[in-house]
Amino acid sequence: MKKLIYLLLVLGILQLAVALLTYGFSLYDDEAIWHYMGRSWLRMGIAPYRESFDNKTPLIWLIYGISDLLFGVNYWFPRVLGTIVEMIGVWYVYKIALHLAGRRTGIIAMTMYGLALLWRCTEGRFPSLTETFEVTFINIAVFLALAAKGKRSYVASGLAAGVAIAFRLTGLVPAAAIFLFSIRKRGALTFAASAAACIAALVAMTLLAGIHLRDLWQFAFLINFQRGQPFDYHLYLTRLTRAFFHCELVCFYPLALLYFLMTRKADILLAWLIGGCLYILMLGTFSEAYFKDILPPLAIAAAAAVDVLVTKANISFGKALAVIWICFLPKDTEPFFSAMEITDPGATTGRSQDYCSPPYPPLTNYARKQVGLWIKTNTRSNEIVYVPTPTVLVYTERRCPALYFSAGAEWAAARRSFYHQMTINQPDLIALPLNTGNEANVTAEQRDYMHNLARSAAYRTDTCINGYAIYRKVRSITESSMLSR
């Protein structure tokens, strides 16, 4: 047991190094969105889906809101918490593999899975994403269902699956696999009822928190099934090939295939894996974080195959683990360059770069953070600002009158809210990026509207900070005297 704990600690330390040593030491896009929404909810009392929109559920915003209440705007707390949650998930992968194929398979699966979580192609830099929490609770649910000896185990499994689904709808896929393979044990209905009760309880809590059921339905569920951009077969195949084959995931494929050929049966791992792959293919964006969903069944299946090969070839178990570490250890150099920033500030973040002159280069995370901090320093706490970039806005610690995130560009209700809020809460400061690639999910119509507003008589040009043109509201003499009091 001590060796397993040491292994878990080593994997956790590696994950913390990868997660905390990132360029700019700042929040990235999704983290910034969730932190802003969590801060607005818990600190400003603005319920989610009111003045800002995203296609996630309130659970992740609650985590980031608590992070803001405890430590202010920071990038480290959600990643440390996510790392702890991930290590719990690693432990349950060990327990699933132990239950299915024995201790050696469990150790191999634990190692493979823990190292695979660090890869760039599985978004190892950000254990703070919703996938982390979803997959960990699914791992718990799968183990409880496999090791079930009575209805209580299926109730606990259903509760864990319900929490996973509440974090991400993708949790429905492995939950369906658990349901199917619980039928023969007569625990399927108990599992399903428990999961449904958990989701219902969480929905009731969100309603008590002031979130409207209609908003929850539209933005946390329905929007995920809306029609997106016209389908491009070439782009789809390019993304598919790059995501599935131009990364370390290929280390799993021959071993997992060997396992399924050896077992020759449709077990829960196969259903879990196929369901996860189909969901990724259906979404079509092939985001790196989505592949966290298929890592547990891949790791367990591959580990079982390795254990059989090692036994038949009479290879030392220690040597086999050493080979696995060499093959699966991430080859990312970002943590090393980020460590240089601690001793040599400016070494990698391009802090002296001129972002306000053509051709307006893309901003680093550090540069965006500095724009937000400048706005915070040069505005009052009660002033309203408009910044179309979450990674800038979150560091201003100011209220934005309306901001879309992933929901905004396609959802009519969000667009209507934007124009309404801009009418009744005209911002005191507008910061517009000179490079439109630094914007969030903004429509061309919205971009033109804000540019026209900023260049109207109601605003004056102030300055340019790291590629952001700053415009301030022109105040009347009466307004100026009231603010100076």
Taken in order 127, 129, 135, 137, is the CA torsion positive or negative?
positive
Residue 56's alpha-carbon distances to 125, 215, 228, in angstroms, are 20, 11, 17
Tokens representing residue 281 in the block = 């293919």
pLDDT at 278: 92
pLDDT at 418: 79
Tokens representing residue 72 in the block = 């202010």
Residue 480, pLDDT > 50, answer no
pLDDT bucket at 227, cuts 50 / 70 / 90: low
pLDDT at 19: 93
Minimum mean pLDDT among 169-178, 283-292, 357-366, 410-419: which range? 410-419
pLDDT at 460: 94
pLDDT bucket at 214, cuts 50 / 70 / 90: confident
- How confident is the prediction for the chain on average, in pLDDT? 87
64 neighbors 31 (Cβ within 8 angstroms) = yes
Q: Is 44 left (phi over 0), alpha (psi -120 to 50) or beta?
A: alpha
Residue 432, pLDDT > 80, answer yes
Taken in order 90, 96, 98, 104, is the CA torsion positive or negative?
negative
pLDDT at 483: 46
Highest-pLDDT range among 11-25, 131-145, 280-294, 380-394: 131-145
Of 18 and 445, the one with more pLDDT: 18
pLDDT bucket at 478, cuts 50 / 70 / 90: very low
> pLDDT tens-digit profile of 304-354?
999 999 999 999 999 999 999 999 998 877 777 777 666 665 555 555 567
Report the pLDDT averaged over residues 236-261: 92
Residue 439, pLDDT > 70, answer no
Instruction: Write down how long the chain is.
Output: 485
Report the pLDDT averaged over residues 251-269: 92
> pLDDT tens-digit profile of 127-177?
999 999 999 999 999 999 999 988 999 999 999 999 999 999 889 999 999
Of 473 and 477, the one with more pLDDT: 473
Distance CA 117, CA 143 (A): 19
Distance CA 123, CA 90 (A): 16
Report the pLDDT averaged over residues 204-230: 77
> pLDDT tens-digit profile of 12-43?
999 999 999 886 688 988 899 899 989 989 99
Write the burial class of residue 73 (CB in 10 Å: 0-12 exposed, 13-18 middle, 19+ buried).
Answer: buried
Each domain of the chain, given as residue ranges in start order, spans: 2-26+75-328, 365-484
Report the pLDDT averaged over residues 182-201: 93
Report the pLDDT averaged over residues 395-412: 69
pLDDT at 141: 97
454: number of Cβ within 10 Å = 22
pLDDT at 204: 93
| 3-state secondary structure at position 150 | coil
pLDDT at 112: 97
